[in-house]
Structure 1
Amino acid sequence: MILIEKLITTNSWWDCEDSIAKNILGQYLLKHPNEIFDVIERFSNSNSIWLNRSAIVFQLGYKKNTNFDLLKSECEKHKTSKKFFIQKAIGWALREYLKTNPEQVKNYVNSSNLKPLRQKEALKNFF
C-alpha cells in the first residue's frame, strides 16, 4: 500500500492517477477487502487531491461488485469540493456505475443535491 500511495502522489496528474487508482489500487483492494475501509478513509481524508480522487474512482470497473454505499459516501464527503478533478471524479464514478445500475444512480443523483457539473457527468449516458 505504501508503494501504491507513492505512485499516486509522486508527480501526479489525472491520467496517471486514474490508471493507478483503477488498475492497481482497485485490484489490490478487491483481493484484500478487509483493507478497504482503512485505506479509503485515509485517502479520502488526505490533503492530497490525488488520494481523494483515488478514493472516489478506485471501484471503476467493479460493476456488480461496486459498493454503492461506499461510493455514495465518498461522493457526499467531497460533493462541495471546488476542485475540478474531484468534481469530475464524482461524475465519472457515478456514470461508470450507471452502466450497471442506472436506477440507483439516477435516484441518488436526483436526491443528493450534487452540483451541476457532477450531475451532468453522472447522467451523461442516461437515456
Structure 2
Amino acid sequence: MLTAKQIESGVLAMGDPDIAQHSQRFFKTGEGEYGEGDIFVGIRVPNLRKLVPQYKGIELDELGKLQQSQYHELRLLALFILVKKYQLAKTENDQKRLVDYYLNHLAWVNNWDLVDSSAHHILGNYLLERDKSMLYEFAESKDLWTRRVAMITTYRFIKHNQFEPTLKLATMLINDKEDLMHKACGWMLREIFRQDRQVLDTYLKAHYQQMPRTMLRYAIEKHEPEVRKMYLQGLI
C-alpha cells in the first residue's frame, strides 16, 4: 500500500534550497505575514503535478497524513491528488466522501495557492446544483483561508452562468480587512465580466464606491481604459 511516508521521502528529495528561499518570500512566511511559519522545500508546481498519476491511488487515510504535512508542497500535492480523485469519482457517494474529506481537512488548506488549486474543482463542482448555504457561513469565518474558499468555490458556478453566489459573497466580504480577500473578490467579479458584462456592470454601479481599491481594480481590469478611469475617479 502506498503510504504518505513513501511519498514524502520522494518529494523531499526533489527540493531545491534556492527555490525554497524564493517561495518563503513570495508566500509571505515571515512573522506577522499571512503565511507565517509555512515551510517550503523548493519544488516547482509543474513538477508536483507530474507526480499525480503516480500517486493518485493513495488511500484517503494516508492522503490525510500528507495533507497535514508541515511542508507546503506536500499539502499542495495532496490537494492535486484529491482533485484528480474527485474527477475520477464514478458515483455521487464517492464524490460526497471526497468532499467530506476536503471539509474535514480545511484547516490545512491554508494558503492562497492551496485554496485556488482545490476549492472550485471540488466544492464548486459538488455544490453546482446543490444548496450553497455553507459558503455564506464560510464567508463569516474568522479564518482568512476559509473565507477565500467561499469565494473561489464560485469560480465553477460562474462558468455555468450562476452569478448570484459570487455577487452575494462579494457584498458580504466588501469590508473584509484582508487584501487577499479583496483580490479574490475582484478576480471572481472579473470572471463574471467574461461571461456577462451587463451583470457585472449593474453590480458595480451599485457597489463600486464602497469597494476597496484593490477589489475594484481587479474587477474592472478587462474594461476599456476610459471606463476604468471613470470607475477609479468615481464618475460612473
> Contact conserved, 2:154 with 2:165, CA < 8 A, in 1?
no
Matched ranges for 1:3-82 at <5 A: 3-10=101-108, 12-30=110-128, 33-37=129-133, 39-63=134-158, 65-82=160-177
Quote the residue 2:39 is aligned against. Answer: none
Q: How far is 1:61 from its partner?
A: 4.0
| Higher helix proportion | 1
TM-score (norm 2): 0.48
Unaligned runs of 5+ in 1: none
Q: How far is 1:11 from its partner?
A: 5.2
Question: Match of 1:58, SS?
Answer: helix
Q: Is 2:213 the partner of 1:116? A: yes
Q: Distance in 2 between matches of 1:123 and 1:13?
A: 25
Higher CA-based Rg: 2
Q: Distance in 2 between matches of 1:41 and 1:62?
A: 15
Between the two proteins, what is the percent identity of the paired residues?
23
TM-score (norm 1): 0.85
Q: Distance in 2 between matches of 1:67 and 1:45?
A: 21
Q: Distance in 1 between matches of 2:116 and 2:104?
A: 14
> Contact conserved, 1:43 with 1:51, CA < 8 A, in 2?
yes
Q: How far is 1:9 from its partner?
A: 2.5
* 1:27 partner letter: N
- Structure of higher RCO (CA pairs closer than 8 Å, 6+ residues apart): 1
Runs of 4+ in structure 1 over 4 Å off: none
> Contact conserved, 1:59 with 1:66, CA < 8 A, in 2?
no
**What are the Cα deviations for residues 101-126 of structure 1, in whole angstroms up to 9, with x where unaligned?**
11211221222021221111001012
RMSD: 1.8
